[in-house]
Amino acid sequence: MYGYIGRILRIDLSSGEIKRENISEEILRKFIGGVGLAAKIIYDEVNPETSPFDPENKLVFMTGPLTGTMVPCTGRYVVCAKSPLTDAWGEAHAGGFWARELKRAGYDGIVFEGRSERPVYVVIDDEDVRIEDASHMWGEGCLNVEDRIRRDLGESFRVACIGPAGERLVRFASIIGDEGRAAGRCGMGAVMGSKMLKAIAVRGSREIPVKDPERLRNVLRRIYPQIMSFPTTQIYASYGTSGELLSFYEYGDAPVKNFSVGRWAEIDHISGETYNKMMVKAKRSCWNCPIACWRYVRVDEGPYAGLELKRGPEYETLTALGSLLLNSKLDVIVRANYLCNQYGLDTISTGVCIAFAMECYERGIITEKDAGISLKWGDPEAILHLIEDIGERRGLGDILAEGVKRASAKIGGGSEKFAMHVKGLEMPMHDPRAFKGMGLQYAVSNRGACHLQGMVLRVEQGERITDLKIYERLDRFEVRGKGSVVATVQNWHEVLESLIICKFLGIPPGHIPGLYTLVTGIHVTLDHLIEAGERIYNIKRMFNVKCGISRKDDTLPYRIMHEGLREGGTLGNRISPEELDIMLKEYYMVRGWDENGIPRAETLRRLGLQ
């Protein structure tokens, strides 16, 4: 095979059995690889009644056919399982170098089954695959574990691991590797911790086979200027993802004070320009990436002077641990990011949970005695204290470690009205009242509140994707016409997450089939890939249907539907239940789902999912 290796590892942590399993070309044609292949495995093999922390839950790491090739921005992997946050479909993505090393070792992916009786880590060194004792690393922070393993095994190994949060089954624990790259969302680190799996270290020596390397090189040479001239690419290359913070703020999109206000006098203190001037010391990139959106940061002054992060905060982290909490101190954000990386915590969910706690404190629902500390907005001590409490599952942190949905149910007092989540997954740092198509995207996303499974706000900002028949800019406050565009963009993003190629690569969809064909030797058209993306989206939805997800769950937080921003931004604007209903009806019709959001039999037959 070309592009693909054509086999995966199956590792049973209960028995210690390690098997190699071939993948048929028929399955790869239908599901591409990456998240598509992971979705097929989980749908087929995970009982919907299985608890996310049961040994029977599968944890699937997967690469794609473009991973590790000369195609730029292909250093990513996906990890999927039944999510501890949503009790339904869960997935997280990470960049770096780990994925390429796994392909070079001779595997497209790994399926972990069962649960070890003691802490272990897995070493994959080409054909040498072994399970080692990790008792000496249990309790250590992620960054320390990575350094330790690479010292012991060699710097050429790449590591993905969990920290104390994953070990303690914090429901939004992440998987950290490559010096701070996070597979952050949906609690995949907690699933890994439930299996007593501390880390996976990989090293490979083989070349990844490509069908027509010379023609591929020539095509990439021709389209490279187009890639680097894309406006968003230029921003990321200059400032990283933080470069869009002020722009999103002006739209009313960057959340402030738990999504309650739209104006904050100190927003400039955490802008991309300020951040790059004060904290950033160098630019870095994932495997074969010309954009280099990583930022190497160091704190030069104050109580955290000398603190370095090889991968510093990006937009989501700057906002989740900054404006969302009314925290304008960049050194505190860097310190908070460091703690999240060490504990292995999703910075988005962490920020939302802390904002929720601060609002509970402000409203008198919880007290200083409950929290163990005053929880005033923007207080650095409170922010850092709560991160440690969550990572340690200590005091109030033990409740917040369950995620904001469960925490609000336990705390009560009307707090569910400002618990910012969809299906249990905390909201990312884009306010859907600024882009109503994003509201629909959040409501119907298979993994809950997700800005990456579609990113329809780009269309609402004016981007035209003619290859996908999106020719006109959509009014960001209009609700009609959004269902079709959201479904189209979601299908395409499933393709990108199956190939796997970074969404920051500004490349028109029409170029992708040719790149896939030159890498794999499998001739495909754009229509073929789009249909595969639709198939993947629907098989995830069917897994969710088996888990009990339906129209009742395709909704938005109370605050988004019933409260407008109190100051600035999109002042007073909201997505009313009636507006959401209009968008859902159109979306279900376009998708071929019934009024309860369940794919119809004829839709499944058309997609070969009957």
CATH no. of 7-203: 3.60.9.10
Q: What is the pLDDT of residue 454?
A: 83
Q: What is the pLDDT of residue 506?
A: 84
498-534 pLDDT, tens per residue?
999 998 888 899 999 999 999 999 999 999 999 999 9
Rounded mean pLDDT, 252-258? 96
Whether residue 294 is predicted with pLDDT greater than 90 in this model: the reply is no
d(CA 458, CA 385): 36
Q: How confident is the model at residue 308 (pLDDT cuts 50, 70, 90)?
A: very high
**C-alpha triplet 24, 29, 31: angle, nearest 5°:** 95
Comparing 6-15, 207-216, 456-465, the range with the smallest average pLDDT is: 456-465
Torsion from C-alpha of 600, 603, 604, 606, nearest 10 degrees: 160
The yes-or-no answer to whether 254-419 and 436-505+525-606 have a common fold is: no
Whether residue 568 is predicted with pLDDT greater than 80 in this model: the reply is no
Whether residue 569 is predicted with pLDDT greater than 90 in this model: the reply is no
Structure tokens belonging to residue 478: 């209009």
365-422 pLDDT, tens per residue?
999 999 999 999 999 999 999 999 999 999 999 999 999 999 999 999 999 999 999 9
Q: What is the pTM of this model?
A: 0.97
Q: What is the pLDDT of residue 577?
A: 98
Rounded mean pLDDT, 166-178? 98
Classify domain 254-419 by CATH architecture.
Answer: Orthogonal Bundle (1.10)
Rounded mean pLDDT, 78-89? 98
Rounded mean pLDDT of the chain? 96
Rounded mean pLDDT, 105-132? 98
Structure tokens belonging to residue 112: 């972990």
**Concatenated DSSP letters of 582-608:** HHHHHHHHHHTB-TTS-B-HHHHHHTT
CATH topology of domain 436-505+525-606: 1.10.599
Residues above pLDDT 90, as percent of the chain = 94
Q: Where along the chain do its domains lie?
A: 7-203, 254-419, 436-505+525-606
**Concatenated DSSP letters of 47-116:** -TTS-TTSTTS-EEEE--TTTTSSSSS---EEEEEE-TTTSSEEEEEE-SSHHHHHHHHT-SEEEEES--
Please report, for the chain, how many H helices and E strands are present, in that order. Answer: 25, 17
Residues above pLDDT 70, as percent of the chain = 100
Q: Give the distance, in angstroms, between the CA of residue 64 and the centroid of all CA atoms in the same chain.
A: 16
| Nearest alpha-carbon partner for 201 in 144, 141, 151, 161 | 161
Rounded mean pLDDT, 5-12? 98
Helix residue ranges, H only, 240-310: 245-251, 272-278
Q: How confident is the model at residue 263 (pLDDT cuts 50, 70, 90)?
A: very high
